[in-house]
Structure 1
Amino acid sequence: MPPVFETLFGNLIVPTILFFALGLVAAALRSDLSIPEGAAKFLSLYLLLAIGFKGGHSLSQYGLSADIFKALAAGILLSFALPFLAFVLLRVMTSLDTVNAAAVAGHYGSISIVTFVAATSLLELSNLKFDGYMVAVAASMEVPAILSALWIARRFSGDTTTACVPMRELLTNGSVVLLVGAFGIGAVTRENGMAMIAPFVVTPFTGILCIFMLDMGLTAGRSLMHNRHLMRAGLFGFGVVMPMAGALLAWGAGALIGLQTGSLFLLMVLGASASYIAVPAAMRIALPKATPGIYLTLALGVTFPFNITVGLPVYLWLAGLGG
């Protein structure tokens, strides 16, 4: 087997990705396997707390620097720009109307924090270091894409009734609050804080992530099966092409500002992922004429499984070439 394929295969055969694949298979087999809703919510909160706290702790070891602000600027610019690329691809590859295309486009500039968490786990399993401030970059990419999507909808649909989502509602999204808050606590408490809660945020992290990925596999598989009547070949193609395009743009931006392999990989993952939590909530308010079954299924049922099973190993390999 060529070395490149050995590398990709080795990055694919890890517990987190395999448990996600198990969830997909169970959904396809219509198994009654499920994770209780309350437990799934706890797992989400745990992962956001753990990754935020560890990122803040890592930042406290290095302090503020120009590299942090370069990475934040790159992330924010990517988040603003990617919906425009997504909108163009959707108009070329699909027959979606302007409002639905704008709603979908907004999902592809924002980020999937679960994909980001899975990526950090892959780096840890591969013994590759990354900069803790990448957690802050992830948080900074939640909102700009929504603003771009709303501008696209207003500019190209001619619908002046498009609702404005209050900035406060975007910034107080639970995922963003917990991620940023835990990041700040980790940065402030430094080594003492990590010593106190390391048995909670470090030791069980991978095992809990495996259970969460199993649940995400079940959710993605069932969403895809339930909404398959809405999906067309062009939409499926977009769900694969767009994350690759976003990852390549992030690769270029990250290499330009000098990110090392681990951090470059995470920026690529952020550029490739699609939101299925914060952005859908915003789109339901701002673009009520858009069809949730389309943008949710694309983000959760197509792009998320693609990134977890195929994208992450490919992005890690590419990051190794440029980092």
Structure 2
Amino acid sequence: MSNRSVVLLILLTGLLLVITGCGRQKAEDMIKDTIGGLIEAENEAISNAAIERRMYGEEDDSVQVMSSEWPKEIPGEYVAFDYGSHIQTVQHRDDGNWTILYTATMAEIENYEKDLAKAGWVNDDNYYDTPSMLSYDLGKRNTSVSIGDPDLDLHFVTIYLDNNDDMQDNKALLEEELEFTTGDASHVVGVKIPDRYPHDFCPLYEPSEVNIAMESEDDEFIGYTIGLLSMDELEKVKGFYVGLNPQETNDMGMLAVYIFEAENGTDYASVTVVENQDEGEKEFLTAVTISVSTSK
């Protein structure tokens, strides 16, 4: 029901009370009752619409529709949403993650955030940072809350429980090399350092784990992009690249960029070293991104 309809009904109610000679206090009470009834009707309409918008049907083979709201199979570390009206719970067959749908007020959603914080979950503002999307981490697990219908009193809420480590998922996806072309250039992406990578020109920091490796080539140049993750402290990694005598250095504290140029005046490399700012348990302390361009 639109705001215009609500206002019109309130005005008509007030006019009827004047015509029928009701007292002022009685008129105010009846108007309040009318407003309350309209709000309840609107919320009920939202709830019914949310049920109609259920994300998954029984015929959807990608998920298993669960009969219970919060199945016992959900790991105990996750915090149950004890608010609002439950709509549907499904488990995704491909990764074992969960999606749970509700309708709830913003106050109820804020209470759930308090429940998460009390249970030790950390608000991950670096990953999601919008009023309609919340993200909380606990080790390798993630709880994300998507809030629909932001302009209404009652919201359509989607809670997604991710039981996997995204970084490891990405690595698994890249175990097999991906080859593609853009324009006149060809590219190979994976997690294996390319055989032609120029280690002497721009050494890779050790110990570290390769998160991504990309080799690109056209008629004139060969380019490399390497992503490394290390459990060594930021300053130690910085010291390694400073010791290689870069031509340019830009150190901004928790992030530093080093530029290397070859004697031929054509080949160059940039190394970005950044500290992991995530709170709680960390899978790496320092990330290194290397970009190299060499001429043929």
Q: Same fold (TM over 0.5)?
A: no
Q: TM-score, normalization: structure 2?
A: 0.20
Q: TM-score, normalization: structure 1?
A: 0.19
- Select the structure of larger CA radius of gyration: 2
Higher helix share: 1
Higher strand share: 2
